[in-house]
């Protein structure tokens, strides 16, 4: 059974209190003043707001999803987060240059390369816990994009999404493959089980997807975010599959990443040519927003990678609450 997450400060406490008791506006205004948009409290509060659009929160009525008061509070969280992301992304190159940079980078060389070369089993298990906040609902945030683009780009995006959900075979849905991988590594695969242990850098990765997906004004950035995943995923997935096999994972424990090696190599071509090229041909004004989505994703993912490597290289757990086999 899913548990209500523990608040990490006044903002997340205010969101949880609002959807259960409805506190006065003054409490929120004071809590929001001076908040760190990258901080634990801010990121959890935003994650909780977005979760009402996904699986919901335990014991919270689904009618809160479109409550005007809660949406106003969510907007107060989104604005400083988006500003911080723009600052972290820095100057955004032209779209062709941004895509070319991702193609030449051969995917994420950070945590995946570390785990392949020298990672320990407890670190691999931590990595899966971090990534569970997205992969147990893989592709759900990107589906908000489908009604916001049209024509060939929409059809190709739907083709990629069809694969993410198992291509007609429910047992092959990527979220289910990830759950089976977690179980193979001795982790609890239930949705949201590790939310209290997952720190802000991992929450920010998912919050960025939801921020882009839920706002039509950011639909170009949502395309860039989705493209960044598909373009960089295949090499990193190969490294992670090799790392998990080296660390004792069984067939179920490597299938998720082995599937992504082949699938995302195809998806990279589809997204780059069938979505980005097709969309910019009909709506060239979106090119800058797509490039920003690529840069923003790289910046937020970079913060997450830096968090992992800093802790692992120091022999410390990267989670808020270490797993039983991790360092205290």
In the prediction, which pLDDT does 261 show? 86
Going from N- to C-terminal start, the domains of the chain cover 10-87, 93-313
Q: Each residue of 202-250: pLDDT tens digit? A: 999 999 999 999 999 999 999 999 999 888 888 899 999 999 999 999 9
In the prediction, which pLDDT does 264 show? 63
Of the CA atoms within 13 Å of residue 167, those in its CB half-sphere come to 6
Q: State which fold the 93-313 domain adopts.
A: Heme Oxygenase; Chain A (1.20.910)
Reported as a pLDDT band with limits 50, 70 and 90, residue 29 is confident
3-class secondary-structure state, position 327: coil
Asked if residue 289 has pLDDT above 70, the reply is yes
In the prediction, which pLDDT does 23 show? 56
Q: Each residue of 95-108: pLDDT tens digit? A: 999 998 876 655 55
In the prediction, which pLDDT does 26 show? 62
Write a three-state SS string for 134-146: HHCCCCHHHHCCH
- Give the pTM: 0.94
Reported as a pLDDT band with limits 50, 70 and 90, residue 131 is very high
In the prediction, which pLDDT does 100 show? 86
Across the range 265-280, mean pLDDT stands at 86
Asked if residue 172 has pLDDT above 70, the reply is yes
- Between these two residues, 282 and 102, which has the higher pLDDT value? 282
C-alpha distance across the termini of the chain, in Å: 27
On whether the CB atoms of residues 292 and 93 are closer than 8 A, the answer is: no
Mean pLDDT of the chain: 92
């Amino acid at each position: 059974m899913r548990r209500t997450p523990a608040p990490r400060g006044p903002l997340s406490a205010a969101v949880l209190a609002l959807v259960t008791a409805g506190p006065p506006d003054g409490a929120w205004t004071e809590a929001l003043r001076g908040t760190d948009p990258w901080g634990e409290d801010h990121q959890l509060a935003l994650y909780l707001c977005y979760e009402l659009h996904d699986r919901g929160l335990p014991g919270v009525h689904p009618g809160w999803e479109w409550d005007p008061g809660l949406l106003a509070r969510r907007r107060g969280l989104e604005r400083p987060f988006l500003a911080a992301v723009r600052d972290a992304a820095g100057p955004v190159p032209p779209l062709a240059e941004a895509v070319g940079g991702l193609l030449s980078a051969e995917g994420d060389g950070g945590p995946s390369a570390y785990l392949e070369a020298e990672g320990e089993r407890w670190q691999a298990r931590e990595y899966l816990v971090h990534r569970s906040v997205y992969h147990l609902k893989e592709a759900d945030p990107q589906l908000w994009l489908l009604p916001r683009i049209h024509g060939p780009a929409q059809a190709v995006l739907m083709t990629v999404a069809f694969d993410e959900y198992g291509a007609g075979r429910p047992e092959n849905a990527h979220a289910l493959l990830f759950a089976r991988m977690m179980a193979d590594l001795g982790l609890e695969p239930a949705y949201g089980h590790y939310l209290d242990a997952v720190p802000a850098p991992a929450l920010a990765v998912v919050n960025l997807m939801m921020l882009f997906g839920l706002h039509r004004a950011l639909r170009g950035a949502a395309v860039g975010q989705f493209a960044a995943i598909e373009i960089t995923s295949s090499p990193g997935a190969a490294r992670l599959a090799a790392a998990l096999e080296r660390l004792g994972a069984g067939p179920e424990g490597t299938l998720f990443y082995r599937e992504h090696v082949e699938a995302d190599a195809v998806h990279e071509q589809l997204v780059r040519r069938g979505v980005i090229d097709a969309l910019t041909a009909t709506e060239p004004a979106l090119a800058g927003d797509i490039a920003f989505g690529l840069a923003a994703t790289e910046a937020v993912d970079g913060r997450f990678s830096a968090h992992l490597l800093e802790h692992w290289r120091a022999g410390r757990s990267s989670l808020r609450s270490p797993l039983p086999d991790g360092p205290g």
